Amino acid sequence: MRIEVVESHAVGGTQVVRIVTDTGITGWGQTACWAYPEAVDAVVQKFATYLVGQDPRRIEHHWNYLYRMGPFRGSVLSGAVSAVDLALWDIKGKHLGVPVWELLGGKSRDKVRLYLLMGGDTPESAAANARAAVDDGFTAIKFDPIPHGFGDMTLQALVAGVEANVEAARDAVGGRADIILELHRKLTPLQAIPVAEAVRRFQPLFIEDPIQIDSIQSQGEISKRINAPFANGERLHTIWEFRELLVAGGTQFVRPDVGLAGGLTHVKKIAAIAESFHAAVVTHNFLTPLLTAASIHLDVSIPNFVAQEYSKGDEGPMARAYPGALTRDGGYIHAPEAPGLGVEVDLAILPEVGRTLLNPLRNPLREDGSVLYAV
């Protein structure tokens, strides 16, 4: 079996890879480098000059060849490698007639627990959305409790605003759901520490990404100073970065993204490294049904999985562009049984229903005109 066609499509606010073999099998992959899909598209087109004519089943070999084609690294390269890697796993599963999780070691679980992404930057929205999520069957929720306009708030006002939002969500759900606090890298260490101390009494499952990701050492230091479970890693790319993060100390949950951190080939290794540190995996994902499906295959197969990030965007109009999109059962998704990843892509309608570009190269500014933060 040989690869005949490698296509990259930057459409619908995302980038999709289509690989076709001489036996007629089509594999689909996608990047989670959502800010720069056009750059990923260009890299995949470069990859195509190598991939055409290759045996698609040599996934580990192709991963290493593509990753080491040049001395440059970063989100765009890793996003491109990830998209190709997912398509190759899709092909291999279809060729063998089995779901991809079967090739990753088989089932560690029959279904995958989800946590719902929701809004909650006011007490009213936090309470209403939390209550609705639990009523819909979710046993875990995640929201950003930082109030609007935080960049120009005093520290006391910021801490009080966050505390009020988290308290409202906890009061709404009681012990029926775990609460995850997504801080979106918005805070400085001097802000993050008092914020974490204020919300600890509400027993969050973990606090995620309180500070910028510029330094792995800084991530380790802040995690050791926050006396609450800590999670990060959604913007990291490699086993080497994740190992350094865990060695730096303090992180109890790692958050690799199969569309950014090297696809299933590499994220499976990241999960194993985390397991050796007694750290759990809470897979990052919020973009499309294809990336959700790829994440579910990983989640099913690893022992140290806790919960999968989930957006109801998967259930909206965008789902029409992804035939075979996995169906949620309350707060869970069952292990898929279709061969490969189990989800196809309809490129004809993707431009109509896809997301708008998530990062139109704008950053929020403080009242004094300075840059506030970058997501």
d(C-alpha 151, C-alpha 373), whole Å:
9
Torsion of CA 84, 86, 89, 91, to 10 degrees: -70
Question: Can you tell me whether residue 3 is helix, strand or coil?
Answer: strand
The residue from 62, 184, 266, 278 that is catalytic is 184
d(C-alpha 201, C-alpha 198), whole Å:
7
The residue from 237, 266, 284, 297 that is catalytic is 284
Give me the amino acid identity at 133.
Answer: A
Question: Can you tell me whether residue 325 is helix, strand or coil?
Answer: coil
* Most distant CA atoms of the chain, gap in Å: 64
d(C-alpha 98, C-alpha 34), whole Å:
30
For the chain, helix, strand, coil in percent to 5 are: 40, 15, 40
Give the start-end residues of each E strand in 216-277. Answer: 230-232, 253-254
- Is 184 considered catalytic here? yes
d(C-alpha 93, C-alpha 96), whole Å:
5
Enter the tokens of residue 137.
């069957």
Q: Write the Ramachandran bin of 48: left for phi over 0, alpha for psi from -120 to 50, otherwise beta.
A: alpha
Terminal-residue alpha carbon distance, the chain: 42
Nearby residues of 212 by Cβ (< 8 Å), 6 or more positions away: 185, 218, 373, 374
Active-site residue numbers?
184, 284
